[in-house]
Every structure is written in C-alpha cells, then in structure tokens.
Amino acid sequence: MGTSTFSQFTVVADISVVAITPRAPMDRTCLLGCGITTGYGAAIITAKIERGSTVAVFGAGCVGLSVIQGAVKCGASRIVVVDVNDSKEEWGRKFGATDFVNPTKINKPIQQHLIEMTDGGLDYTFDCTGNVHVMRAALEACHKGWGQSIIIGVAAAGEEISTRRKSDPFLILWGNIDNFSLTIAVGPQRSSWSLVVYGREVRSEVSRGGLNFQI
C-alpha cells in the first residue's frame, strides 16, 4: 500500500504475520519489522557477504547499523562506515565497524578515498541513504570485476542514478550492481523468527538496552 501507519488493530494476510515468543520485549522486537531486517538481510541474504571480505556502509542509521551487524556475522575483515555525522562513528564501531570516514572532511571524492584505502576498491558496498549521489559513490567504490553494490535506500520519485568512473565506462556491464534491496530483504516468517532467536544468543545493539532478550 505504500503507507507507514500506527494502529491498534490490523487485518493482514497470514503470510505477513510471524509469531514470536511473548517473552521477547516488544520495544525491541518491533524494530525487526523493517529497518533491522532490511539491513541485516541485505548483508547475509542479498549480498551473501563472504568471510574476509571488505565492506563499506553508506549511512549509519538503523538500516546501516544492521548491515554492519550482518557483515560482522558473515566474518567481514574490514567494515568502513561512511557518514556525514561524526557522532555515528561511535555507534558504527559499537556495532562492529573497523573504520569511519566523514566525506565532508576529505579533499577528494569519497569513492576515490575508499579505493585508495582498500587498494583497489571494496568487495561489497551498501547504500542506506536513498540519495542517488551516494548510490553512485557506493557503486564506484566497488572493486573492478567482482565488487558488488547493494542499493537499499529508496530514492525520491523521478531521481536517476548515473555513473561513469574515469577509464571504466563498462562499470555496470561488469556486474558491479548486484541487487536493489529496496524493502525488507528477508522473508517475514522464518527470517524474523531467526532474528529473534539470534537476539537470544548474541547481544545486538539495537538500542542502548540492546536486543538481548535474556529468556
């Protein structure tokens, strides 16, 4: 329906409903409905990040932080957070990021900076902003030949993404755009339950209290 709505009662299809343990705190599990499942699922299901890979996450909001958690779970060796808000560095590192870059504080395009940081580009990049210019930067920061860019953010109506890395006019033809993960990247029933179970076993820093059910 394209809406985001609060309600006391809702009628939905059974495929959109998942039963979880009543002992799980609702102020944490409510976050599994969209932001966390989108980011975490984009990392472990859409991208299928390989152990030892390098990852860049553009935007460290709820979705971006969840991508970081997914990358950690998959065993990524380096996770770079890109955000214009310096306060996001603390949160990014708390979730498992190894590096933080504020693109407004460097004297070159962020994609060039990341390519130099990683000696050729990243294995996986994730746009969690919905900004088409950031999407382009994420795409161009991928390693030539095998790097994959997963676009999670939803751009405004009418916006277009374009790219042309210098001396690399076939960037898209080489398969660097792996997937457009515009909504929840996991199936609601089995995957949401798996996240709840995961939350019981490993502390997930969803909030200051953490997604730690203790049941």
Distance of CA 165 to the CA centre of its chain: 23
- pLDDT of 205 > 80? The answer is no
- pLDDT of 33 > 80? The answer is no
Q: pLDDT digits over 105-136, tens only?
A: 999 999 999 999 999 999 999 999 989 999 99
Q: pLDDT digits over 62-82, tens only?
A: 999 999 999 999 999 999 999
Total domains in the fold of the chain: 1
Find the CATH number of the domain harbouring 138: 3.40.50.720
Domain that holds residue 163: 42-201
30 or 182: which leads in pLDDT:
30
29 or 102: which leads in pLDDT:
102
- pLDDT of 4 > 60? The answer is yes
Residue 28 counted as domain residue: no
Residue 107 counted as domain residue: yes
Residue 131 counted as domain residue: yes
DSSP state of 165: B
- What pLDDT, on a 0 to 100 scale, did the predictor assign at position 208? 40
Q: pLDDT digits over 155-184, tens only?
A: 877 887 776 654 444 444 444 444 444 444
Residue 180 counted as domain residue: yes
Q: pLDDT digits over 137-157, tens only?
A: 999 999 988 899 998 888 877
Residue 27 counted as domain residue: no
Residue 10 counted as domain residue: no
Helix (H, G, I), strand (E, B) or coil at 4: coil
Radius of gyration of the chain (CA): 18
154, 160 in Cβ contact below 8 A?
no
Mean pLDDT of the chain: 78
